[in-house]
Structure 1
Amino acid sequence: MDQTARVHLTPHRFFTREEWARLRAGTPLTLAEADLERLRSLNDPISLDEVETIYLPLSRLLSLYVAATQRLYEATRTFLGSTEGKTPYIIGIGGSVAVGKSTTARVLRALLTRWPNTPKVDLVTTDGFLYPNAVLERENLMERKGFPESYDLPALLAFLSDIKAGLPKVSAPLYSHLVYDIVPGDRITVDRPDILIVEGLNVLQAPRLPRDGKAVPFVSDFFDFSIYIDADEDEIHRWYVARFERLRATAFRDPQSYFHRYAMISREEALAIAERLWSRINLVNLRENIVPTRPRADLVLTKGASHRIEQVALRRL
């Protein structure tokens, strides 16, 4: 099959930056440079121009989708004669390590909370559902951290099920990037948001279909809309190593950091370690588990070498 045929068969529509930017249709910019400075992730140089060009049109699209979905939920409740409260709209954001998922999630949350009707928007990362390091070490999974098998999937599914059911004060474990582990006894609470953003490496992964036809729920089953942050593999590699260098000069210098030892060695040694971590763990996870989920996303944001989004792909309805 030639490339032209593949393009025609894709379930997505593709937009250049300029084409996508025109879909903003007057959506006001509600973020200032000072707001953006607080939302940026390390080594992710997002600009206000990027917010105006990419995220404001996306915010407009989501405002339309959320309103339409809430009407559908209301119609279903009417049909069932249900008196249940609102059903939160859940947005999933997936993609590789170092590709900018966290920045995208935080910018979207900031924009969505600034809609005229000021909806309540919460953000949760799937890091909190990683098994504690003690469990990963016992199961010989420390070098598979971030792979699907390193997550407490039943706990994550139960959390999302309770959120979707509109239950109050649903809690999740808290993860610390400083100590690189779950914080014992600490939890975050999500209390009936209008919108919940769920960000993580493997959030779009689908289970293998069961031979007996029994239901096997997965994380993405609870999403109303999903976003995949994409980039060339070589660029992600470069961003990962650059971020590792930045962390050596910042967070790794904290004596409590799990990676404090990397701040105490030479730059050459540290870069060699970063390269090994990339090739042995993160690249394998990217190729085996993360990239294969890209076609399942409702929206694919493809970045260029400067982290600027160069193409937007929107799934056709």
Structure 2
Amino acid sequence: MLRWRGVDDVPADWGRCVLTIGVFDGVHRGHQQLIGRAVAAARRRRVPCVLMTFDPHPMEVVRPGSHPAQLTTLTRRAELAEELGVDVFCVMPFTADFMKYTPERYTREILVERLHVAEVVVGQNFTYGRKAAGDVATLADDGRRFGFTVDAVSLVGEDALTFSSTYARACVDAGDVRAACDALGRYHRIEGHVVHGFGRGRGLGFPTANIQPPQYAAIPADGVYAAWFMVLSGGGQFGTLVAGERMPAAVSVGTNPTFSGKERTVEAFVLEGEPDLYGKYVALDFVEHLRPMLKFDSVDELVKAVDDDVAKTRAVLAAES
């Protein structure tokens, strides 16, 4: 799959394409419907399917400091898009200047003059241009002027639930990783580098990998979780990251109140083996919430609780295998 940083990367001899546009954070089940529709249209027309997303999140530019929790990194979004059949993953830098584009300029300069769209596939609630002045009707009008069609897709599931990144974030924030999985169509994942922590887990017989997620990552609510742990390898912001063997892990999210901790951390006790993980880039796929974060009266009580967490993690993940 081609990866473009903005439309300046579009080749001079670029032909026509089918385009789908959105932030696509999470690439949830609604996004998957949308992307699937665009891929199918591209195959019918025998042209490439292009997915356009934005970086940073538009909210951070429109209202600085309002960046929502991020369900997927750009690299993860590209990987998921490629799995769905997308041919080109285009990341548009969302700048203060880009934010001021009128809908007409947006369509003419980007969709028509640079990407040569034959068809645009968007959600029914799609808006674009300065102050979100453009919508599906506006885009369809422009399509009739410039010679492309518009397909507006409903993001509603069979159970009448409207799939949205907002809903998926709410599930993650509440620690309901099962519901998040249902909305996303896969386990919620966080990534990050393994950094040095306080070393308490090793002293208790449970050496943990202290994971430092990227800024804005959607981290589940404080508690203990059963998760799959993977070491990722590969290169570049838009390169492909390859997941190694997945290993069962009991994951603690929170401030470690038994030790009067103040810093919120994500620590994974990998149940099989004890590889040297410091500095590695890893992923956690959250499967099930096991219990809330608790303060224990003694270290012995904590160790007993962790033993129980490990047993539950093994049982949960064995059922998922």
Tell me whether the two structures share a fold, i.e. TM-score over 0.5. no
Name the structure where helix makes up a greater proportion of residues. 1
Which has the higher Rg, Structure 1 or Structure 2?
A: 2
TM-score (norm. length: structure 2): 0.31
Name the structure where strand makes up a greater proportion of residues. 2
TM-score (norm. length: structure 1): 0.32
Q: Larger relative CO (CA 8 A, sep 6+): 1 or 2?
A: 1
